[in-house]
Structure 1
């Protein structure tokens, strides 16, 4: 019926089937390896329950109205945008220039 030599000469059987097995088998293998990674992270992240309760209490969401009150009290009229030194500039020399400019404008 089927000749073994004919199957060995067939390009689909010779190249396609191993490639298909490699792709499908690789995806299953990769899933197993990534699952090990996530399991290890989950084990490492476990905290003591009393410590976890303290962390959750301290992490209260910021209320928008409170943040607005903080910004309302800030004095933005005297704010100046000062450029930092470029990588090729000497930072100490540039800071001295900025200080002298601020002294002249104030």
Structure 2
């Protein structure tokens, strides 16, 4: 009985131990809940098998040599850099100005 009264008076056991239990228990609880969240996301992400086959086929079909052949056919010498409209500018009005400049120079 005497030791139980001493433990109740001791601030470490009265406040510290429950706080440590809360922190450690909360850590384990959060880990479990986040694991459930990520497991649910992976099950939702599964695609239809036919769609997944198309996606994988498209990813595998890209070959560096094929892309080089596509770029080689482009006429990059005739390319012109045209500035887009700023957020405060009216885009339709700006496009008309750009077209007028293009027609005037060409």
TM-score between both structures, scaled by the size of structure 1: 0.76
Residues 61 and 5 of structure 1: CA distance in aligned 2, closer, same or farther (over 3 Å): farther
What are the equivalent positions in structure 2 for 1:14-29 lying under 5 Å apart? 14-29=14-29
Most deviating of 94-103 and 32-41? 32-41
- Shift of residue 80 of structure 1? 1.1
Secondary structure of 2:17's match?
helix
What are the equivalent positions in structure 2 for 1:1-106 lying under 5 Å apart? 3-47=3-47, 49=49, 51=50, 52-106=52-106
How many matched pairs? 105
Residues 15 and 105 of structure 1: CA distance in aligned 2, closer, same or farther (over 3 Å): farther
Higher helix share: 2
Secondary structure of 1:83's match?
coil
Residues 99 and 57 of structure 1: CA distance in aligned 2, closer, same or farther (over 3 Å): closer
Q: CA RMSD in A?
A: 2.4
